[in-house]
Amino acid sequence: MDLSSPTFWISVGQIILIDILLGGDNAVVIALACRKLPPELRSKGVMWGVVGAVAARIVMIFFALQLLALPWLKAVGAILLLWIGVKLMVPEHEEGHGKLEGGSTLWSAVRTVIVADAVMSLDNVIAVAAAADGHLGLVVFGILVSVPIIVWGSKFVLMLIDRFPLVVVFGAALLGWIAGGMLVGDVAWKTWLESQPGWTERAASVAGAVFVVAVGNLVVWRRRRAQPAAAAGAVAMPGALRRILIATDGSPSAAQALRQAMTLRSQLRDGAQTELHLVNVQRPVSGNVSTFVATGSIEDYYKELADQALADARTVLTEAGVPFQEHRRVGSPGESIAAVATEIGCDLITMGSRGLGTHTGALLGSVTSATLENAGVPVLVVRG
């Protein structure tokens, strides 16, 4: 490994990005598996679970690197990697839950973490092995850097991805790029490749990136078309506001949206009759996570996150003496906010935006854009 080589650091960066994008669910499993441990053992459970998971993953990638040297297996791996890239762009839906509980002893929790990480990391292993291009040292270095980020900074990573969904598109394109080069790099057609122009492998990488992004966007577009359409026609601001729904995620922009809703209520002639409703939406963990953690543990996890997100809004409204109701959902945030608005018959949705312009928001597929697309009532967007 040449630490002064730009190629080395580009490869390390690819491995770290792949680990972060494909490893978020693993961090959730670690948190859930250690929930039942006494407080004094939780940090040990997380630490030893991570150590075991990293060791198991490095061993798996070592064998994957050996297998990818065999004819045709790189081609198979490339096809799998294309599928993983497309899957990364398609939002997860909540799935059924398994029966395995998080451990109540240190060893059982660590065992759950290691087994779950090993099973859930198959896509990660394929992607990282392809990015490493045969260099196990790159794999070890990249994993040692990225795993602590995933585990101890998972909330920050998820917030960053939620705020800038373009990162996911870039990551999916990276997987497609690696898959394209991997496909033409199979030893089965090494002789053929040597007779082709020097740009053939680069062209295959570009084609792989374009394929993943195009197919991923097509799948998302088809899913949205299959969903019930929002009420057609222009939506006018109602003359009276009986119910205002406030999207709340604990961020400064959401707090500003709450203040705007309270100001609007105070300015109405019959403002005291206007109901304020808070809604918090948690993104569902994948079906892979639910295989290793019981339903009750995952529901407690959602509740804990929702309580944290709603805490500041509760305090503000309580201190102001303003009555309110809470709604919690698990699902795609924009679609869920619009669905709650329909269920309670609200007249206005207020939500914060982090200063993204209209075109940028549409490109990134932000929560604000999804709410505007699905809501059948006016949406007041407050810039953060």
Q: Output the pLDDT for position 97.
A: 36
> What are the tokens at 271?
């403002």
Compute the distance between CA of residue 263 and CA of residue 368 in angstroms, rounded to an integer.
21
Which pLDDT belongs to residue 338? 92
Quote the DSSP letter at residue 271. Answer: G
Looking at per-residue confidence, does 59 or 29 come out higher?
Answer: 59
pLDDT of residue 357: 40
Closest CA to 283 of 264, 307, 268, 301: 301
Q: What is the pLDDT of residue 323?
A: 92
Give residue 152's pLDDT.
67
The two three-digit tokens of residue 174, written as one number: 């990276």
| pLDDT value, residue 349 | 93
- Of 257, 232, 234, the closest CA to residue 246 belongs to 257
pLDDT at 235 over 80: no
Select, from the ranges 134-138, 229-233, 352-356, the one with the highest average predicted confidence (pLDDT).
134-138
| pLDDT digits 0-9 by tens, 366-381 | 688 788 888 888 888 8
The mean predicted confidence, pLDDT, of the chain is 76
What's the whole-model pTM score? 0.58
For 129-139, what is the mean pLDDT? Answer: 76
Q: Residue 246 carries which DSSP code?
A: E
Which range is most confident: 102-106, 240-244, 327-331? 327-331
pLDDT above 80: residue 314:
yes
Least confident of 47-61, 143-157, 247-261: 143-157
Residues contacting residue 187 through CB under 8 Å, at least 6 positions apart: 69, 70, 71, 74
- Write down the pLDDT at residue 261: 92
The CATH code of domain 243-383 reads: 3.40.50.620
More confident residue, 123 or 306: 306
Model confidence at 327, pLDDT cuts 50, 70, 90, reads very high
Q: Give the distance, in angstroms, between the CA of residue 55 and the centroid of all CA atoms in the same chain.
A: 25
Task: For 23-37, write each residue's pLDDT tens digit.
Answer: 666 666 777 777 667
Q: Tell whether the model's pLDDT for residue 276 goes beyond 80.
A: yes
Q: How confident is the model at residue 329 (pLDDT cuts 50, 70, 90)?
A: very high
Which tokens go with 141?
């270095």
Q: What average pLDDT does range 90-109 have in this prediction?
A: 55
Percentage of the chain lying above the pLDDT 70 cut: 73
At residue 165, the 3 state secondary structure works out as: coil
Label residue 61 by pLDDT band (50, 70, 90).
Answer: confident
Q: Residue 239 above 60 pLDDT?
A: no
Q: What percent of the chain has pLDDT over 90?
A: 17
Are the C-beta atoms of 15 and 139 separated by less than 8 Å? Answer: yes
Q: What one-character DSSP code corresponds to residue 284? A: P
With a cut of 80, say whether residue 109 has pLDDT above it: no
The residue extents of the domains of the chain are 6-226, 243-383
pLDDT at 364 > cutoff 60 = no
